[in-house]
Amino acid sequence: WYTAMILEQTDLAAAVAQLERVFALAPDALHVRLKLAATKLALGDSVVAEELLRDVPSESAAAADSMLQRVRAARLRNAPLEALKILDNARKFKSSLSSDLYQEAAVAALQAGQPNVAASLRAESLQQPPLQPFPDPWLAALRAFDVSGGGDSTTAEQLRGQGRLSEAATRLAALARRFPDR
């Protein structure tokens, strides 16, 4: 998970490979499912993204994020009417609604050649709260992982700058043992 979050910044394809490994180990972790779907969508694989998102329960806390990504995926697949159907389904679950969802659906309505529907959806988006992203329960550990490595790396660089090469090498060797994939 940590490696995928770091790779997401520079190499989406490599991040997907790591996310798929995490998903295989924790298929019920909704934050993993959402992140994998979003990354697949960013790489243009809207079909797989939608498959992943269909299994997110409509009554779960992840539903709003899932519905938004499903509408976006349908729109990117050039299926704007399907995107509008997803919005209609989301309306049954008030907790799934967000201004972001309505805005995405408005774009789908324009794509479908329905400017009046798009204008109505845009107006409705102003009445909805912004999307509250589904929380990542592993985020605190990720921050600790990244900060601890960053702190040791900075200390090693300071030691090197002071000419204390042996101490810097020892610090970097310990860091490499703790995080061999970095």
Provide the 8-state DSSP code for 59.
T
Q: For residue 170, what are the CA distances in angstroms to 15, 149, 175?
A: 30, 14, 9
Please report where in the chains the tokens 């970097």 appear, as a residue: 172
pLDDT at site 145: 61
Give the global pTM: 0.75
Please report where in the chains the tokens 């107006």 appear, as a residue: 123
pLDDT at site 163: 84
Give the Cα separation of 157 and 36 in Å (integer): 35
pLDDT at site 181: 56
pLDDT at site 144: 65
pLDDT at site 113: 97
| C-beta of residue 131 within 8 angstroms of C-beta of residue 65 | yes
Mean pLDDT by 10 residues, the chain (182 residues): 85 94 94 95 93 90 93 95 95 89 97 97 96 84 64 77 82 73 54
Give the Cα separation of 68 and 80 in Å (integer): 13
List of long-range contacts for 48-57, beta carbons under 8 Å, 24+ apart: 49/73, 50/74, 50/77, 56/30
pLDDT at site 157: 79
